[in-house]
A = this chain, B = another copy of it.
Amino acid sequence: MPGPTSYFDPAAVDALTPRTADLVRRRAAALGSAYRLFYREPLELVRGEGARVWDREGVEYLDVYNNVPSVGHAHPRVVAAIAEQAAHLNTHTRYLDEATIVYAEDLLGTFPGHLANVMFTCTGSEANDLALRIAKAATGNEGVIVTHNAYHGVTAKVAAISPSLGGMDSLAPWVRTIDAPAPGVDLGAAVVVAIASLAEAGIRPAALIVDTIFASDGVFPDAVGLPAAVAAIHAAGGIFLADEVQPGFGRLGRSGEHASLWGFGRHGLEPDLVTLGKPMGNGHPIAGVVARRDLVDAFAARGRYFNTFGGNPVSIAAAQATLDVVRDQRLPEHAARVGSALLAALRELDDPRVGAVRGAGLFLGVDLVDGDGRPDEVLALDVVNALRGRHILLAASGPDNHTLKIRPPLVFDEADATRLVTELAEVLKERA
């Protein structure tokens, strides 16, 4: 099964400590066989703060993996906002709530003006699912174009456009895939080919949807062909959906040139729909769709939308506190600075097994390769588990599972970056 290489093998349960083995067995019995655990030796975490987490024995780990607690684990402002609102009231969007309106206006202020509406869901999966419903209602079309190893969520609809999930016998007839924007790939031409292929099947395109950091494809921050791809989907009557669930809320860094919290801003694009999720409430389940008003109107003409928990006052409080911290602590600028230093340090690693190193802000990918420069999944798996042994948490990803995925909480600092690079060099040296 494709996917991250870093999962626990259930057959190895007997090698664990008695307590861990007991928890793993009870968990498998109750949660069933579709769940996975990270690492050869699963990790039982009990506390977090900033970019650090602690296990049950009090051992501290540097978190280089979790992009959800974006402003830092258990950030006191977010925790206080949740606790205070929960103690007052938690209802839903069919009553008026001033804070929800204020947050919606605040959030929309970070987008280009043509993106005038926001709709709230609980997960990125729900956001992408709703966005596809909107795209279909607005265009009247069915076809969807995604990258080869795309991941856009786990509802039936978005799992069908997420080849990285594995388990697909074949793509749905209304889906076409294109290459991720590795060097030499012409994204615009690829979209033209995909549209032609849909047309041969009598299907017109509703949407081109891309994660603007191409995370599950192996992290590609410089998608030079993306404007041409967007032009092609527009010319064919489809819309462009920027999936910002992973790159959004400032992770890709911000400088004068890219004055945006959003990945599409780096590429100089103006999407028709944008989906948000993971870091939006720093771990609290809130996500959403930002859209052109005319697209929402086309959707609304066919039916209302109500998500029981989506945009409830407690979720909104978590999201507002998170957005406030992102700005007040200038985390996009911080991510740009630390990420840039980390990228440079990783590229200076003097080891032929370190292949391409790509990244923007605090979203980086490091390819590990064998002597012939080919993807080395086994090495990547070893490195991930060896780093866990050194109390550094990350994972491997990408279509060949050989890309170390580096996307820590945004409070990750220069000293953390130095520690990561030093330990990675040590782990590689041990395997020389």
Contact = CB atoms under 8 A, between A and B. Distances in A.
Interface in A84-134: 86-98, 100-101, 104-105, 108, 116-126, 129-130, 132-133
A123 B125 CA distance: 11
Contact of A154 (B24, B30, B90, B306): B306
Interface in A365-387: none
Interface string A39-56: 000111111100001000
Contacts of A133: 156, 159
A68 B43 contact: no
A185 interface: no
Interface in A157-188: 157, 159, 165-168
B297 A33 contact: yes
A18 interface: no
A87 B96 contact: no
Given A86-B82, A98-B44, A101-B23, A35 B73 contact: no
A96 B31 contact: no
Nearest to A89: B48
Interface stretch (A189-197, A257-265, A267-275, A278-286): A278-286
A399 B35 CA distance: 39
A401 interface: no
Could you say how many copies of this chain the assembly holds? 2
Contact of A31 (B82, B118, B159, B303): B118
Contacts of A101: 23, 26-27, 30-31
B30 A104 contact: yes
Contacts of A88: 46-48, 74
A94 B315 contact: no
B43 A96 contact: yes
Contacts of A360: none
Contacts of A74: 86-90
A283 B312 contact: yes
B157 A155 contact: yes
23 contacts: A1-B303, A26-B101, A27-B101, A30-B101, A31-B118, A32-B117, A32-B297, A35-B119, A35-B306, A44-B97, A45-B96, A47-B89, A48-B89, A53-B89, A53-B91, A78-B86, A123-B307, A124-B308, A154-B305, A154-B306, A155-B157, A165-B304, A167-B303
A-B CB proximity, top 9 nearest: A167-B303, A32-B117, A83-B83, A156-B157, A285-B309, A90-B283, A167-B302, A30-B104, A32-B296
